Amino acid sequence: MKKNALGRVQMKLFTKLALVSAVAISSNAMAMQAMDDAALSSTTGQDGISIGIGISKVDIEKVHIFDGDGLAAGSLTAGQPGFGGTGTVGAITLNDVVLTAPHTSAGALDTTRMLASGNLADLAIDTDSGAGGKPFLNVAASVSGLDISLGKIEVNDASGTSGAYVAGTASAEILSGLSLKTGKMTANVQLGNTPQGAMIKLSDAMVGGLEINQLAIKDASTGGGGYIALGGIKLSDNGNTNGDLSLDADIAVKPEGLAITAMKNATGTDIYITKVVLGGGTIAAGGTAFTGTGVGSKSIGDVAISGMKVFNGAGLAPGAVITISGH
């Protein structure tokens, strides 16, 4: 009897010990799992979505921007400012728009203006609950530098109705074309709510600045026919030895239109314009405003603007505010 009683006591103690051990092991395992998850999170970085956009070239034949009701005829007479409106649809046409990865003047890829990934853009997307119950979507974008070229920019006749406008064949040249070179840059976009203060913020620098080349505006009037031609325009920060251009800019969509606040750099902006031609001279078929001969074909020289600062509003806040909307 004593042996049986002792055996039962021992069995109960063993059972309790086994249960306690199982609970302890289970708890330790859970604790270890929690620690492992935390360690893993700190090792691998934040949650979220990363997107790399790998495009090396975009080629667009034509872009049409239609004005459905044209310029109102009004009661103006010939020779008065604004005369000529017929109240009919017209279009601005951009020809041969080409965007490519950045290249040097020798034709090789310009790695100094490219992202390390080689992508056109790298995006990091996160969502956050925000402060005060104001959640938002955050998109941090790194964008490669680009070489951009445009053919002729023209104004065209057009026909049709809204949703089905078609550009006609009658056209008049506005710009003979241009090319741009941009450096790599960063931008941050917030949607839903915008604790950063604007939908899009540019706060870094465009490496190497901004270059616009071969810009020529044509005077198509009966008394004109010549060009204002600029061989090149380079924008950079005043005193920046690398030629970089600060991108301290805000882009917001307000009820009155798209508002862009830019050129807020406290040191000012340097603008260098090369080969300013007024006229263009006699231009052979297939030539440009930069290949003319005779009177009017020569450059008046280069123009340099240093430390330009702009302000807006009664309080003279730094920067220019550009608002774009329909009318």
Question: Does 284 share its domain with 173?
Answer: yes
Q: Which pLDDT does position 46 carry in this prediction?
A: 64
Average pLDDT over residues 209-218: 92
Neighbours of 263 (CB within 10 A): 23
**Are 202 and 184 a contacting pair, CB within 8 Å?**
no
Looking at this protein, which amino acid is placed at residue 138? N
Of the listed ranges 14-23, 199-208, 219-228, the one predicted with least confidence: 14-23
Of residues 261, 265, 260, the one with CA closest to residue 245: 265
294 in the Ramachandran plot: left (φ > 0), alpha (ψ -120 to 50) or beta? left
Element (H, E) at 235: strand 227-237
Question: Does 78 share its domain with 159?
Answer: yes
Q: Which pLDDT does position 225 carry in this prediction?
A: 87
Comparison of pLDDT for 285 and 26, the residue scoring more: 285
Average pLDDT taken over every residue of the chain: 85
Grade residue 168 by pLDDT with cuts at 50, 70 and 90: very high
Question: Does 30 share its domain with 84?
Answer: no
User: Given a cut of 60, is residue 264 above it in pLDDT?
Assistant: yes
Question: Does 91 share its domain with 213?
Answer: yes
User: Given a cut of 80, is residue 177 above it in pLDDT?
Assistant: yes
Question: Does 77 share its domain with 210?
Answer: yes
* Alpha carbon distance 145, 186 (integer Å): 10
For the stretch 230-257, pLDDT in tens is 999 999 999 898 899 998 899 999 999 9
Average pLDDT over residues 187-215: 92
Question: Does 13 share its domain with 73?
Answer: no
Count how many domains the chain has.
2
User: Given a cut of 50, is residue 21 above it in pLDDT?
Assistant: no
User: Given a cut of 60, is residue 204 above it in pLDDT?
Assistant: yes
User: Given a cut of 70, is residue 265 above it in pLDDT?
Assistant: yes
Average pLDDT over residues 264-287: 91
User: Given a cut of 90, is residue 70 above it in pLDDT?
Assistant: yes
**Are 128 and 186 a contacting pair, CB within 8 Å?**
no
Average pLDDT over residues 141-150: 94
User: Given a cut of 50, is residue 263 above it in pLDDT?
Assistant: yes
* Alpha carbon distance 252, 260 (integer Å): 7
User: Given a cut of 70, is residue 2 above it in pLDDT?
Assistant: no
Q: What predicted TM-score, i.e. pTM, was given to this entire model?
A: 0.75
Question: Does 5 share its domain with 59?
Answer: no
Question: Does 22 share its domain with 71?
Answer: no
For the stretch 267-276, pLDDT in tens is 999 999 999 9
CA 228-230-231 angle, 5° bins: 140
Which residues, other chains included, contact 116 with Cβ-Cβ below 8 Å and sequence gap of 6+?
none
* Alpha carbon distance 224, 172 (integer Å): 13
CA 111-117-120 angle, 5° bins: 80
Q: Which pLDDT does position 208 carry in this prediction?
A: 87
Question: Does 151 share its domain with 40?
Answer: no
Element (H, E) at 166: strand 166-175
For residue 79, give its domain range: 48-324
Distance separating the N- and C-terminal Cα atoms of the chain: 105
* Alpha carbon distance 240, 242 (integer Å): 6
Question: Does 41 share its domain with 55?
Answer: no
Question: Does 30 share its domain with 59?
Answer: no
Question: Does 195 share its domain with 301?
Answer: yes
User: Given a cut of 70, is residue 5 above it in pLDDT?
Assistant: no
Tokens of 226: 């010549």
